Amino acid sequence: MQNRPQSSASYLGIGSTLEIEPIPHGIKGKTENGFFQITVLNPHILRIQASKSDFFYPNPYSVLKVDTESDFQLNETQTGITLSTTQIKLEVTLSPFACTFYDKNGNILNQDDPLGISWIGTEVSCYKKVQKEEKFIALGEKTGNLNRVGQAYTNWNTDYFAYGTGDDPLYMSIPFYIGIHEKGAYGIYFDNTHKSVFNFGASTNRFMYFSAEDGEMDYYFIHDQDIAGIISKYSDLTGKMQLPPLWSLGYQQCRYSYYPESEVKTLAQTFRDKDMPADVIYLDIHHMEEYKVFTFDGKKFPDPKSLIQFLKSKGFRVVVIMDPGIKVDEKYQPYLEGKSAGLFVKYPDGDEYQGQVWPGWCAFPDFTNPKTRQWWAEKMKFYTEAGVDGFWTDMNEPASWGQFTPNVIEFDFEGEEVSHRKARNIYGMQMARSAQEGSIYQNQNLRPFVLTRSGFAGIQRYAAAWTGDNVASEEHMLAGVRLVNSLGLSGVPFCGFDVGGFAGEASKSLYARWMSIGAFTPLFRAHSMINTKDAEPWAFGEEVEEISRNYIKLRYKLLPTIYSKFFESSQNGLPINSSLAISYSLDPKIYQTAYQNQFLFCDRFLVAPVESTKEITKIYLPEGTWYSLYSDEFFTGENEIYIDCPLNYLPVFVKSGSIFGMQSERSNTSEIHDGILHLHVYCSNQAGAYLHYEDDGESMGYLKEEYFMREITYSPQQMSMTIGPVEGNRNSSYKKIRVYLHGFQTDVVSLNGQSFSLENENYAFLEKLTEFDPLPEHEHPFYEIKALPFLEIDHIYEPIILSGLF
């Protein structure tokens, strides 16, 4: 019997190594069935590439240009070769080609299965052994549990209205995951824009694997000593968010849709009349004429410039929606311009691709073409001249009726010319990029705000993200928390969900609870669908209105801490909402379904989301000690506790040793505060720190050191607090600090070497003793406050007042 030729649809392993040679930043070689290259980017990151050809076609969009590392060691072994940095040792087995990654102490972090890198037709895969008790987290906007063991996920950006809490795929794809086991942790970013799959043990007990339907095996192996370090190193690869404008951290109100302009004015005035802080109002698709982008409906919005001026006089910023579909209309200037310049997606024979969306039959700008991005930036002048502040890129998967875009259509892809199969996942990211670049192009010195529904790895460089068309249900509320936490694990700090639910109608209790959770979310936006009941904070009765007002006001009081944390995240890539897996990755309880929704907000506040139907809930407090935010009740960590959670009480705890700043009430972020920074310090046997950061909140001046920054630290050894020297060239907006002390038991204050007894809860003398002139210069001296007391009077914490430190 003759042997049958191998089918192109059967397994083809990369095979044994035939040739290998060193290169300046790693090694490369040839195998029986392919080629490989291993590059050392730095001691923490190695890049593994494999292809059937000897030429690689990398994704030009996600990974920033990074310096490569030449300081590594190569050694031959009996079975292969080892490549070592100060942090990682990679052992490459030559027959067959396979990779095993070790930490600097010799512990196995990650290891190829014998099936290794392989192909089935055009599909390329990498099979990995699963380490003992290994857990898998991150992967971006994915539903399901925090620990993704036993599940498989597809990366294919999809318009999914009213998706289920376990459905996949959704709008955004980030092919990056973190593996955690008792010997260490690592991250893998698979840089392939084709439809891909990550299988963490679904339907198999042999391995986990990641694969793409086409393209190359191109992944980055990342290792650091903790999860935070891995996320930060990943963001070094794919970029960090820019510091957003301060107003985008306030409360945002959206509906599909607010119109005509009289309704928008009434909405704005009602916020102010009801003493309800808010900063942003959105204009959805009904602001446009026949849903055509770069238009205003002349009947609904006869004078948009005047409307926006009115809103700004009330302290509101305006964000408009931009959909990619350009209506096929020979009288519509954007369509004529794009068609004549060849800026739209085409079929291989040159015909223009058209799909149906809101305006009807539409052409789609090819945002993978630099000329298209520049054209879009120029067209945005229409909005910026009217006074629009921010841009909401929606329907950018790209979405079209029928939800089945033909793969045959072609995209420029920075000159490579590829099909929809390779370009789809990157399309939304490049539209968001175009919007950001257009905002900067039109408003030279103002920070852009772009909100996107679709994206890919690196989207954080261009836009904030929200989790799409969710549903008004208890399950969606909690699933949204996990989605935001997972995006944070995947390098996207600025993200949120539609508070109250987009599809359907929230009950009174659900809306109230969702508002309280939203106050502890990076993007705080409420959004509801057309043909549903009103869903503003006052639309559910007096009780819900009061609860909403209280939590929105708390959000605004916490803005000094939130804004400072955003600055830190713009520097290190770490999330605002941090899954407990970051700080407590080896604690098995945090992965349990009962506790997996809990997270740290701004590193200090442990938030325990809970259904609105519950009045008591079980919470897990991890290692350390904790205080109730509302009562200062003290709890020991590594314990499960029961907590009352009536509708007006979202369980929130403060980590001991924390320091955070608060300010006076404000109706919007442009309103002037009272000049007092309220500084809260929590007693602990662990050191704590708070990096206080300020700038003008809107310009690019902070890039030129036009900011005010200083670190405030707490030392348990000396029982002292130190307010460090000023950095930056800007004066603080605060003239006075009030220090609130939680958990301390002494009644003596030592200030600048002098001790004072605190008697009769009267601190007026402290103001007199600390009447220093503000000293913004860099050589500002240190000030210490030792043995800080905690005093409680009717549950109101009396402050110590320190004048002149700012």
pLDDT by residue (tens digit) across 529-557?
999 999 999 999 999 999 999 999 999 99
Q: Give the pLDDT band of residue 736 (cuts 50, 70, 90).
A: confident
Give the whole-angstrom CA distance, residue 707 versus residue 288: 39
Tell me the pLDDT tens digit for each residue of 701-711: 999 999 999 99
Q: What is the arithmetic mean of pLDDT over 612-633? A: 95
Max Cα–Cα distance, the chain, nearest Å: 103
* pLDDT confidence bin for 794, thresholds 50/70/90: very low
Q: Give the pairing type, strands 464-466 and 495-499.
A: parallel
pLDDT at res. 1: 38
Counting beta carbons within 10 angstroms of the beta carbon of residue 73, is it exposed (0 to 12), middle (13 to 18) or buried (19 or more)? exposed
Instruction: Tell me the mean pLDDT in the region 156-163.
Output: 98
pLDDT-based confidence at residue 746 (cuts at 50, 70, 90): low
Contacts of 160 (CB under 8 A, 6+ apart): 167, 169, 170, 171, 468, 469
Amino acid 681: pLDDT? 86
Q: Which of 140-149, 299-308, 758-767 has the lowest mean pLDDT?
A: 758-767
Say how many Å lie between the first and final Cα of the chain, rounded.
Answer: 89
| pLDDT for the residue 743 | 81
**Nearby residues of 89 by Cβ (< 8 Å), 6 or more positions away:** 82, 83, 101, 102, 103, 104, 106
Give the per-residue pLDDT at 717.
Answer: 74
Average pLDDT rounded to a whole number, residues 785-792 = 37
pLDDT band at 724 (very low <50, low <70, confident <90, very high): confident
Q: Is 795 exposed, middle or buried (0-12, 13-18, 19+ CB in 10 A)?
A: exposed
CB-CB neighbours of 76 under 10 Å: 10
What are 63-78's pLDDT values in tens digits? 998 777 778 999 999 9
Check residue 766 and give its pLDDT: 32
- Going by C-beta distance under 8 Å and a sequence separation of 6 or more, which residues neighbour residue 762? none
Per-residue pLDDT for 667 more than 90? yes
pLDDT at residue number 7: 65
Contact assessment for residue 128 and residue 209, using Cβ atoms and an 8 Å cutoff: yes
For residue 785, the model assigns a pLDDT of 41
Give per-residue pLDDT as tens, 23-63.
Answer: 999 999 999 999 999 999 999 999 999 999 999 999 999 99
Percent of the chain's residues with pLDDT above 70: 91
pLDDT in tens, 238-286: 999 999 999 999 999 999 999 999 999 999 999 999 999 999 999 999 9
User: How much is the mean pLDDT over the chain?
Assistant: 92
Residue 765 has pLDDT above 50, yes or no: no
pLDDT digit string (tens) for 409-440? 999 999 999 999 999 999 999 999 999 999 99
Residue type (1 letter), 368: T
Could you give the 3-state DSSP secondary structure of residue 447?
A: coil
If one counts every other C-beta atom within 10 angstroms of the C-beta of residue 778, the result is 10
Q: Can you give the pLDDT at residue 748?
A: 54
The answer to whether 463 and 522 are in contact (CB under 8 A) is no
Do residues 326 and 335 lie in contact, with contact meaning Cβ atoms separated by under 8 Å?
A: yes
pLDDT at 751: 42
| Banded pLDDT at 761 (limits 50, 70, 90) | very low
What average pLDDT does this structure show over 737-753?
Answer: 65
Which tokens in the block code for residue 686?
A: 């662990």
Instruction: Give the chain's domains with CATH numbers.
Output: 11-238 (2.60.40.1760), 251-324+369-409+418-561 (3.20.20.80), 674-803 (2.60.40)
Confidence of residue 722 (pLDDT cuts 50, 70, 90): confident
Burial code of 146-168, b = ≥16 C-beta within 10 A, e = fewer?
A: bbbbebbbebbbbbbebbebeeb
- Alpha-carbon distance of 214 to 392, in angstroms, equals 31
Q: H or E element: which one contains 35? A: strand 35-42
Residue 806 CA: distances (Å) to CA of 256, 389, 472, 556, 723: 44, 31, 45, 21, 10
Q: Of 240-244, 756-760, 772-776, which one has max mean pLDDT?
A: 240-244
Report residue 769's pLDDT band, with 50, 70 and 90 as the boundaries: very low
Q: What is the pLDDT of residue 116?
A: 98
Predicted confidence (pLDDT) per residue in 576-599, tens digit: 999 999 999 999 999 999 999 999
Strands (E), 559-658: 577-579, 599-601, 605-607, 616-621, 625-628, 634-636, 639-644, 652-655
Catalytic (active-site) positions: 394, 397, 469
What is the C-alpha to C-alpha distance for residues 581 and 598, in angstroms, rounded to an integer?
Answer: 10
Residue type, position 740, single letter? Y
Place 782 in a pLDDT band, splitting at 50, 70 and 90.
very low
Calculate mean pLDDT across residues 288-303.
Answer: 98
pLDDT digits (tens, 9 = 90+) for 440-463: 999 989 999 999 999 999 999 999
